[in-house]
Structure 1
């Protein structure tokens, strides 16, 4: 089984308190009017600049308690492998935005947005505004069950100039970044920047490389002293050779080094021989050797993304902010599928065993070609009166998403070179395996008030409303391999009242307590067939069987805590409980002999709830100027509340820890800053994690350490 499991207002009287994550010279802060919101964290540019240039900002976020980040490459750039957890919620359950523009679900093959990596270069990120656990109702998102992350881009600089950075690393890694700032061009203060980023690295095992290039530009036009209009633009191109998915059996019997053949000597001939059952000798202990190494597995995508924002002070108390945006993404993902034949070893395949019916070749190139085209607008009003900070806003988006999968003809042995997985495939014979077209309209609205009856107390109340309708049509399928796709169906998520209540009280000097309660909802996902917990990305029969039981996923989160801060010691305790309901789960069943690639049925069904209970605790000691020692521990007990029954089979999931997220994390960091020199050593420990849903197999615990000097 497989399945799924963040408002910052500029205030003149803000108070900045360095929380437990920060030592001198580290830019991690929590900000709000008069007093801080304890569930809101800012991760600043100075912290990110301590990393290797080009590093994914989410990898830096993992220094915080309760956050886990992992990737198969050291910079965290491979979108296929990146996985982020925050207090038990995985990344597609965390709302993300850039300067308030929604980025949708930050997953591989994002269906309603853009991965933040592809939206903005790391060097152009000013900070991350993070809301943990309980949600921020102002976030333009329909998936923020577990909090939200808003990327804030740097503004163009007031003085003209430029920046050139070049980084080299192991495995032929190089990262280049060029930026030009215009400075103020006239008396009104018009200014802009434009940047180009190029990142390339070889894989650390196997063959091939991982390449990305990106252009960002931003224009700011001040209007008087309190208002401005700005525009942001992004273009990116990504071409990556993926690492092979891994199984416990391969790890146990063959170590870490199994990978696909692409980019290695005799790659095509070795791959074709493997499709006939003639495997390399090193594969002798692999239970399913045909799945262990394909000829290739790649990802290619390109985006045009941007928006225009008017941030206007209508009066000294009333502010109006509106953004219009658009986004288009094209690309494709490939792997060389060795299952064109059912049982035969001959080449070409006997017709009776050929389920693709192109040229009889044993390998065909399976290519997914998703397409995203969306546009929308976000608008909000904020008004300060007496001791109240009031705001209200709306968000509308139309999103068209198509997900098509094709089989392209690979040559028979001796008839030429294999297809270029990064090519266009124009003119190559093909077969449509499956196809679906989605159209989604989303409308959300929010109202909120933060009341300061006294300077030391903030009481917040607000709510969010969601109306989201997705329709799928034009379903196609190749009947020899895939069932009839769900088509001419629609699902609606309507939630009129999703409340958020919180309070922060500094009851003594340096002492603060807080609580935060919210309900959030996740609208129905979309994806290609067999790819996720998208309820309409299944066969028509599978959808008909479960549609009456489908409900949007929802989560109630209750958080409370205590924080102490002074010059010598900063410490906190953060407790939370989440009731995650109507969890949608994809279940794959093998319907015959052979690989899950060839004999698979899929269903997405409501499998009940998850209960999460967790606690973070941490302390930073700063005994001397420039010297800081940070330690944190995090415990998360997240279990499935019910067993799962599907197709007559019951899976004993009740009471088992959720997959992939550790119960226990420990993080430590010792840093010393002297003038412009910073040295640090840090370490992170992750306890063992469940690999499967019934808890039969555990991933071993591990340490990860870094030593840095800058």
Structure 2
């Protein structure tokens, strides 16, 4: 990681909370609860409470909204270190794309559902918002940084709309909810080592205190874990051009040296419970650096194949920067780095026999940097064909989630709210090279430009109320309520200067405020149990998305004319989602079928207006209305003892309703065009066998054709693809002195299919080709060994 400007990591209170978590765990070691004690009973009741809070059924049984989930076994069978974001791609209607095998390369990570794009889908971790998943993330962080994948308990996807109390302002569409795993009930030491292709190696350790007692009806448990993963790019290469700043292991490397991409993670979770009351403390530190893959045009992918990547030869990079196509590839120093501290304290208290209160304050700080050795695009940028630039990120946010539930006669009432204050800064600086003709060494004393230096401050307030009635002897459940949300967004041009550095006109950019609010966003749902096996559900929800608020790529990055036009003619995106379906559970069969209709208003699509590494204003196409209709299904069948088949499929037709105005006079003939990056067909199948410690799984995934231009031009049509993965696992529990020993092998893209995964890395086009797609990973094989004792 590299940070060329001093920037403190954040409040010491983050570290204090982490320390208190550890102290809470350590201090409780004195007394271990014997079997059958009251502490064990309390622990069991808490376990049962947790299963109620999270979707326990793979098909979302009992819920008024469409939902599906992946469980702990799904996460375990994936290659060690794989993000849960990658695992949920098997669920109905989820189009998740990434250019790396683990789903952790954040420049490439995208998720779409029912025509909703990444920035329109909410994501939470243990109830805390993760933001909109944008790369220069100003309002959250990726799940791969929030928690070590080893410590995840599961993930639930609500494809249509989240609960009213979801802490998110960008859940115009569905919500992905991640939950941390429970600590082990026995004192345990866990160790694991993974190796594989692309020079991959990962070392991890975790200590669980086990269930401890602090009194007749109280106790605690917890864990602390540390992991390190290193890997090289699966194609091409990557090197560092800027100074490193390490916290843990960092660029010094793990047991087997440093990879081109690496990540250190420290997690601590501690729980205290006393009868019906429960307090949970969590702290996570993530320090990550990743080297970038080349963004491709469709033409380049077809002519050069998926292995085309950044230049490792300086002479080639220099010649390309001076050519007529300088953006086909760059020198291989493109790199992103992020360091995060995340902490929360969650209390759940029984106020009365039928009243419960949950309070969850949290803190998050982030520092980051993005490096490019980029073309100068002419002498006005730099006297040399190539210069070095770094974009520097910083964010500090804190907030609180509150929820109260009351079990009243004939009613189950829930009221709650969420508040967050977030201050996000971004700055971009360019430096000249020492001797561009001779090599890529950067002269950090020779500043070419301060491109921009901005800060956005966001105060978000959300409140909601919901009631549930149970009728017909509890077989019919009706839920209804509404939420109100307000975002006060204030943008400041910091107007800082660097001696001897040229500045762009951004130095004169004015400060302004641009709020978003919605006073009434209703939701109504019903679920009817026709029998113990058959269930029907329906839901209608109104949602609103926050405006594009990134200080780097949002509305504050538009020019004066575009900003005024945007402000006068654009409202926040709104959507009305209607869905209904049927669930079945009969013996060895569990399944669901959902039909949906989504009506969008004020649909915004970010449009590419300049080369990838150039600094220019943002452009948004307000395409007006979009209609999305389709169906999703999931079927899980137990074929024989230990043998199961799970399949999912989705059909989505998302099209633009009308032609729209581009600027004040031009009209874009977009009516009937398919929404970008929205496959009409998605299909998944997993065949799994489990018996006596052995597990094997064979999975296949199909994604139909997609477009990355609004007008669906032929040269923006990405072909369909199908990939196959295979996983093997064997656990031995008969080794003396070891509780269990697990061996695992994973083969990704078993058939070595060449395909395009991510679309829109440089925005979407109005029409035509662009360097805005990324190739999916080739066939890769990984092996791991893990032990617990």
Q: 2:349 aligns with which of 312, 331, 337?
A: 312
1:68/1:182 CA distance change after superposition, 3 Å: same
Write the distance in 1 (CA, Å) between the matches of 2:90 and 2:612: 37
1:70–1:83 contact (8 Å) kept in structure 2: yes
Q: For residues 12 and 398 of structure 1, what CA distance do their matches in structure 2 show?
A: 29
Unaligned ranges ≥5, structure 1: 1-7, 20-27, 278-286, 343-352, 420-424
Structure 1 residue aligned with 2:595, among 558, 575, 583?
Answer: 575
Contact 2:448 2:502 in 1 (8 A): no
**Per the alignment, do residues 110 and 485 of structure 1 end up closer, same or farther by CA in structure 2, a change over 3 Å counting?**
farther
With over 3 angstroms needed to count, the CA separation of the structure-2 counterparts of 1:15 and 1:570, relative to structure 1, is farther
Q: Please list the CA deviations of residues 314-349 of structure 1 after superposition, one character each: whole Å capped at 9, or x if unmatched.
A: 122111110111111011111112125x2xxxxxxx
Distance 2:124 2:515 in 1: 23
The equivalent of 1:135 in structure 2 is 162
Tell me the CA shift for residue 577 of structure 1: 0.6
Q: Taking structure 1 as reference, are residues 600 and 38 closer, same or farther at Cα in structure 2, changes over 3 Å only?
A: closer
Alignment of 1:343-422 (within 5 A): 353-356=379-382, 360-413=383-436, 418-419=441-442
Name 2:642's counterpart in structure 1: 626
Q: Alpha-carbon deviations, 1:169-220, whole Å to 9, x = none?
A: 1110112221111234542423321111211111111102221111111121
Q: Is the 8 A contact 1:475 1:486 kept in 2?
A: no
Q: Secondary structure at the match of 2:210?
A: coil
1:281 matched residue in structure 2 = none
Give the number of the structure whose residues are more often helix, by fraction. Answer: 2
User: 2:675 is matched with which residue?
Assistant: 658
Contact 1:574–1:617 under 8 Å retained in 2: yes
Larger deviation: 239-248 or 577-586? 577-586
Select the residue among 722, 743, 760 that pairs with 1:703.
Answer: 722
1:442 corresponds to 2:460: yes
Q: Which residue is 1:487 aligned to?
A: 510
8 A contact 2:118–2:132 mirrored in 1 = yes
Work out the CA distance in 2 between the residues paired with 1:582 and 1:15: 34
Alignment partner of 1:62: what SS? helix
Corresponding residue for 2:60? 30
Q: Tell me the TM-score normalised to structure 2 length.
A: 0.78
Report the alpha carbon displacement of residue 387 of structure 1 after superposing the two structures with TM: 3.8
Question: SS of the residue aligned with 1:49?
Answer: helix
Aligned residues: 652
Q: Structure 1 residues 149 and 17, CA, compared in 2 at 3 Å: closer, same or farther?
A: closer
- Structure 1 residue 596: Cα displacement: 6.8
1:6-60: per-residue Cα shift (whole Å, max 9, x none)? xx996599699986xxxxxxxx3635xxx44452333221221111111111211
Q: Residues 294-319 of structure 1: CA distance to partner in whole angstroms, max 9, x if unpaired?
A: 44311011011111111111122111
Aligned to 2:119: 92
Could you say if the C-alpha distance between residues 10 and 504 of structure 1 is closer, same or farther in structure 2, counting changes exceeding 3 Å?
farther
Structure 1 distance, partners of 2:614, 2:589, is 59
* C-alpha distance after superposition, 1:218-276 (max 9, x if no partner): 12121x22112221111111111100111012112222222112xx3xx3343223323
Paired with 2:646 and 2:506, the residues of 1 have a C-alpha distance of 55
Aligned residue for 2:322?
A: 276
Matches within 5 A, 1:266-305: 267-277=313-323, 288-305=325-342
Contact 1:483 1:539 in 2 (8 A): no
How high is the TM-score relative to the length of structure 1?
Answer: 0.87
Change (3 A) 1:469 1:18: closer
The answer to whether the 8 A contact 1:17-1:565 is kept is no
- Taking the aligned partners of 2:454 and 2:679, their CA distance within structure 1 comes to 36
Change (3 A) 1:538 1:36: closer
| Distance in structure 2 (CA, Å) of the matches to 1:650 and 1:588 | 18
Q: Provide the secondary structure at the position in 2 that maps to 1:547.
A: helix
Change (3 A) 1:433 1:18: closer
Which has the higher mean CA deviation after the structures are superposed, 323-332 or 86-95?
86-95
Compared CA separation, residues 191 and 167, structure 1 to 2 (3 A): same
Give the alignment of 1:153-164 within 5 angstroms.
153-164=180-191
Alpha-carbon distance in structure 2 between the residues aligned to 1:587 and 1:99 = 34
Quote the residue 2:19 is aligned against. none
Q: Trace 1:482-561 onto structure 2 (pairs within 5 A).
A: 486-529=509-552, 531=553, 534-561=554-581
Higher relative contact order (CA 8 A, sep 6+): 2
Shift in Å at residue 645 of structure 1? 3.1
Q: Would you say 1:197 and 2:227 are equivalent positions?
A: yes
**Residues of 1 paired with 2:607 and 2:327: CA distance?**
23
Deviation of 1:431 (Å): 2.0
1:536-572, CA deviations, whole angstroms, 9 ceiling, x for partnerless residues?
2212332123211121111110000111211133332
The offset of 1:166, in angstroms, is 0.9
Compared with structure 1, are the counterparts of its residues 553 and 159 closer, same or farther at alpha carbon in structure 2 (3 Å cutoff)? same
SS of equivalent residue, structure 1 residue 582: strand
Deviation at 1:644, TM superposition (A): 3.6
User: Quick check: 1:71 aligned with 2:98?
Assistant: yes
- Say which is worse superposed, 121-130 or 553-562, in terms of deviation: 121-130
In the alignment, what sits opposite 1:118?
145
Taking a change above 3 Å as real, the CA distance of residues 587 and 372 of structure 1, as seen in their structure-2 partners, is same
Distance 1:517 1:403 in 2: 39
Seen in structure 2, the aligned counterparts of structure 1 residues 379 and 657 have a Cα distance that, compared at 3 Å, is same
Partner of 2:367: 330
Would the alpha carbon gap of residues 137 and 383 (structure 1) be closer, same or farther in structure 2, given more than 3 Å must change? same
Q: Which runs of 5+ in 2 are unaligned?
A: 1-45, 239-259, 730-789
Deviation at 1:388, TM superposition (A): 2.5
Note the C-alpha offset of 1:62. Answer: 1.2
SS at match of 1:412: coil
What is the deviation of 1:117?
0.9
SS state of the match for residue 352, structure 2? coil
**CA distance in structure 2 between the partners assigned to 1:143 and 1:598 by the alignment:** 28
2:129 to 102, 108, 119: 102
Q: Alignment partner for residue 703 of structure 2, among 686, 689, 694? A: 686
Residues 404 and 470 (structure 1), Cα distance of their counterparts in 2 relative to 1, 3 Å cut: same
Asked if the contact 1:355–1:481 (Cα under 8 Å) also holds between the matched residues in 2, the reply is no
Cα offsets for 1:79-126 (capped at 9, x unmatched) = 111111222222221111121122211221211111111000111111
CA distance in 2, matches of 1:695, 1:339: 31
Provide the C-alpha distance between the structure 1 equivalents of 2:231 and 2:613, rounded to a whole number of angstroms. Answer: 30
Matches of 2:455 and 2:124, distance apart in 1: 25
Change beyond 3 A, Cα 1:618–1:589: closer
Match of 1:348 in 2: none
RMSD (Å), alpha carbons: 2.6
* 2:265–2:285 contact (8 Å) kept in structure 1: yes
Distance 1:294 1:641, change over 3 A: farther
Question: 8 Å contact 2:85–2:143 — kept in the other structure?
Answer: no
Secondary structure of 1:583's match? strand
Residue 586 (str. 1) matches residue 606 (str. 2): yes
| CA contact 2:199–2:231 (8 Å) conserved in 1 | yes
Aligned with 2:296: secondary structure? Answer: coil
Q: Give distance in 2, aligned partners of 1:171 and 1:57.
A: 21
CA contact (8 A) 2:114 2:629 kept: no
* Separation in structure 2 between the aligned mates of residue 406 and residue 180 of structure 1, nearest angstrom: 43
- The Cα offsets for residues 617-650 of structure 1, whole Å up to 9 and x where unpaired, read as 3433323222222333211000112234324543
For 1:367 and 1:13, the matched residues in 2 are separated by: 45
Tell me the equivalent position of 1:280: none
